[in-house]
Amino acid sequence: MQFDPFVIPFNIGLYFILIYAVARSIIWFRELSRPDKLRLQRGFFGKAFGQSLKEIFLESLIHRKILKTNLRLGYMHMSLAFGWFLLILFGTIEADIFGKSHLNAPYKAIFFKFFNPDHGKTLFEAGYSFLMDLILAFILSGLLLAVFKRFSSKAVGMKKTTRLKPLDKVALTSLWLIFPSRLIAESLTSGAYGTGSFLTGTLGSWLASFLPANELAYPFWWLYSLSLGTFFVLLPLTRYLHIPTELFLIFMRNSGIKTGDKASTFSEVEVHSCSSCGICIDQCQMSFSAGINNMQSAYLMKAIRNNADTYDIANNCLLCGRCDQICPVGIELSPIRMIQRRAGDSEIKYMNTWKGYFRNKQNLSVPKQNFKNSYDFLPVSNPGKADVLYFAGCMTHLTPSIKNAMTMILNTSGLNWSFIDEKAGVCCGRPLMLAGQDKEARELINYNSQIIWKSGAHTLVTSCPICYKVFKESYYLDVEVLHHSQFIKNLIDDGSVKMNFLHKSVTYHTPCELGRNSGVYDEPKEVLRHIANLETTDYEDENSLCCGGSLGNIMLSQENKRRIAADVAAELTRKNPDYLVTACPLCKKTLAPATQSKVIDISEIVAEAIVTTSTLKKNPERLRKTVKESAGIT
């Protein structure tokens, strides 16, 4: 039986973290809602399991997504995670093959060299040592990057990096110490016994040439064990908890569990899965246009983990969804932000017990009931019957050109339509939701629903993506909800309107609420391609920018909104298009003052291109020609 006291710290750490992991997962599982429990069980014994393993390999070890967005940062994460994984894997095998006995205690694998100092003499052994050195070198290279990143995040190609709390620093140091100490310990031992490969061997023999290698080795083995132990024990208190937590996240997600609209186990698992890699910070326009660097998702996750006040962080955000898009861990960041907003003052705080190893929910809520909105003043309205309803929305009433364009298009379409908020419209409810006031929003939703039901329409067309999203997701309607860009697309497809081709170059700005937040990317572009020369920009689809005017941010000053809009407008008009086209009245209103080029809504350019019924009467063969033919384009 090989044993040495220095392995004790490591063992303590290891068994502690294992037990902790089990306990934690049991607690989390208990807190899961009943349906989620079922989902998880089904997932565990279903194909989700396979997917999860694959994803764990690709994301948790290889860090594919990070590699995609940022090679150096990806390499750093990969070398550490994957490298360490390999080290353990091959270490265990090594211990198993070359060790005195089989099926060893874990520490044997970790401190193999100490217990088998003369290992590595024979050729095959040497080859294996070479492999182990290679892996160690791989990790150390990553570690080197990590150290750089701390001192200049530019080194890993990042503009911003997250700030640390003291405990993180301790854990970080212990993490950093692990592999160097292993390197030196192994090298010294190798040096003493003339073993080791290109890394440990060379370094070892060199050190041994002028140092008492054998005596010096021992303390370094202690250091190695200690740093491992410390790291494991501190792990649950630090952001490094993301390493194990991410596995749960992946399982849960693949089992079909969603974030939902209030704090739950899943949201907590997500919060803990954030590795604070900081990619969301670089992606955030609040950061690179407005120079605000304290409210990005990484900081939100941290604030929640530390039970800090999340009010300002949660509310000072455009909710454009760019970070959700890029997050390598795939955390549903905006939904979590919305949970914080909804909670408002009546937030469930997590009280730390046992120095934060386990957190028990405690409701420190301020009752919200005592100040609720009331919209009982809203009049009963009886809209006429119609097949198609048009809901312009508040913002569209501030951009009458869009209203007029849509009126013109709807008239030309020859459909039986009615304008439900022409005189006095009521807000769709989305702005209240964005402010986290869902109960209040519900009142407006019910009011509008009444009108829509009464009309007996089969289609509802909105000009404002904000309305579109809420009608689509939060209303219980038996009508087809279309954004006007989709509606126009349909009109063109079924030939109920004819277009002229405008010899104009346009670029398209995808509104956040329509694009990332509702998944409507193609219809507007197809409409535009149909009637004009659509130029591409560097910010298409998922990567599109936010105009800055978002109702999602209630705190942002006009000045900063302007700064964001200016940057966006500049980016999208690089090719000096005739029009910068968008599909949202709010985007239009925000971008128009920020640029010299003409900013218009898609409905306006369509109205410009549309062939009116009167002209069709004059030359009927226009009906047979396609748009491009009639424009003389082949």
Partner 1 sequence: MEKFGFTLSKARVIDYDANDRSVVDYILKREPSLNLCIECGCCSATCTTGNFTGFSLREMNILLKRGENEQVRKKIRTCMLCGKCSLVCPRGVNTRNIVFLAKQAFQKFDSHAV
Work out whether 344 is an interface residue with partner 1 (CB under 8 A). yes
| Spatial contact of 454 and 382, defined as CB atoms under 8 Å apart | yes
Least gap, CB of 316 to partner 1 (angstroms): 10
Distant-in-sequence, close-in-space partners of 138: CB < 8 Å, separation ≥ 6: 79, 83, 86
Residue 185: both structure tokens together: 């310990």
Work out whether 62 is an interface residue with partner 1 (CB under 8 A). no
Tell whether the torsion through CA atoms of 269, 271, 277 and 283 is positive or negative: positive
Task: Give the Cα-Cα-Cα angle 55, 56, 58 (nearest 5 degrees).
Answer: 60
Q: Which of 381/595 has CB closer to partner 1?
A: 381
Work out whether 394 is an interface residue with partner 1 (CB under 8 A). yes
* Interface of this chain with partner 1, residues 29 to 58, rule: CB under 8 A: none
Work out whether 592 is an interface residue with partner 1 (CB under 8 A). no
CA atoms of 564 and 574, how far apart (whole Å): 16
Binding mask 510-549 for partner 1 (x = CB under 8 A): ---------------------------------------x
Q: Which of 99/425 has CB closer to partner 1?
A: 425
CA atoms of 231 and 215, how far apart (whole Å): 26
Listed ranges 111-119, 187-195, 376-384, 594-602: which one lies at the site for partner 1 (CB under 8 A): 376-384
Q: Which of 203/317 has CB closer to partner 1?
A: 317
Least gap, CB of 382 to partner 1 (angstroms): 16
Residue 155: both structure tokens together: 């080194």
Least gap, CB of 366 to partner 1 (angstroms): 5
- Could you identify the residue written with the tokens 């079909």? 256
Nearest to 548 by CA among 284, 295, 303, 335: 284
Least gap, CB of 373 to partner 1 (angstroms): 5
Listed ranges 12-20, 147-155, 374-382, 448-456: which one lies at the site for partner 1 (CB under 8 A): 374-382
| Spatial contact of 156 and 149, defined as CB atoms under 8 Å apart | yes
Tell whether the torsion through CA atoms of 352, 357, 359 and 360 is positive or negative: negative
CA atoms of 18 and 9, how far apart (whole Å): 14
* Interface of this chain with partner 1, residues 345 to 364, rule: CB under 8 A: 345
Binding mask 416-445 for partner 1 (x = CB under 8 A): --------xxxx-x-xx--x-x------x-
Residue 597 — φ and ψ, nearest 5°? -70, 160
* Interface of this chain with partner 1, residues 547 to 576, rule: CB under 8 A: 549, 551, 554-559
Listed ranges 225-233, 300-308, 368-376, 539-547: which one lies at the site for partner 1 (CB under 8 A): 368-376
3-state helix, strand, coil in the chain (%, to 5): 60, 5, 35
Q: Which of 372/529 has CB closer to partner 1?
A: 372
Work out whether 367 is an interface residue with partner 1 (CB under 8 A). yes
Nearest to 520 by CA among 552, 542, 548, 493: 542
Work out whether 150 is an interface residue with partner 1 (CB under 8 A). no
Among 45, 210, 354, 371, binds partner 1 (CB under 8 A): 371
Q: Which of 152/557 has CB closer to partner 1?
A: 557
Task: Report how many residues bind partner 1 under the rule CB under 8 A.
Answer: 38
Residue 302: both structure tokens together: 């941290």
Least gap, CB of 301 to partner 1 (angstroms): 24
Work out whether 379 is an interface residue with partner 1 (CB under 8 A). yes
Task: Give the Cα-Cα-Cα angle 175, 180, 186 (nearest 5 degrees).
Answer: 125
Listed ranges 129-137, 248-256, 352-360, 373-381: which one lies at the site for partner 1 (CB under 8 A): 373-381
Least gap, CB of 300 to partner 1 (angstroms): 19
Least gap, CB of 347 to partner 1 (angstroms): 13
DSSP character for 103? S
* Interface of this chain with partner 1, residues 266 to 325, rule: CB under 8 A: none
Listed ranges 45-53, 106-114, 251-259, 369-377: which one lies at the site for partner 1 (CB under 8 A): 369-377
| Spatial contact of 279 and 327, defined as CB atoms under 8 Å apart | yes
Least gap, CB of 509 to partner 1 (angstroms): 18
Q: Which of 374/634 has CB closer to partner 1?
A: 374
DSSP labels for 446-493? HHHHHHHHHHT-SEEEES-HHHHHHHHHH---SSEEEEHHHHHHHHHH
C-alpha distances (whole Å) from 557 to each of 69, 310, 549, 595 are: 31, 19, 10, 19
Residue 396 — φ and ψ, nearest 5°? -65, -30
Distant-in-sequence, close-in-space partners of 79: CB < 8 Å, separation ≥ 6: 138, 139, 141, 142, 143, 145
Q: Which of 390/501 has CB closer to partner 1?
A: 390
Among 38, 398, 623, 633, binds partner 1 (CB under 8 A): 398
Least gap, CB of 590 to partner 1 (angstroms): 9
Work out whether 626 is an interface residue with partner 1 (CB under 8 A). no
Listed ranges 189-197, 371-379, 536-544, 595-603: which one lies at the site for partner 1 (CB under 8 A): 371-379
Least gap, CB of 425 to partner 1 (angstroms): 7
| Spatial contact of 457 and 387, defined as CB atoms under 8 Å apart | yes
Residue 433: both structure tokens together: 């939701």
Interaction site with partner 1 (CB under 8 A): 344-345, 366-368, 370-375, 377-379, 394-395, 397-398, 424-427, 429, 431-432, 435, 437, 444, 549, 551, 554-559, 586, 589
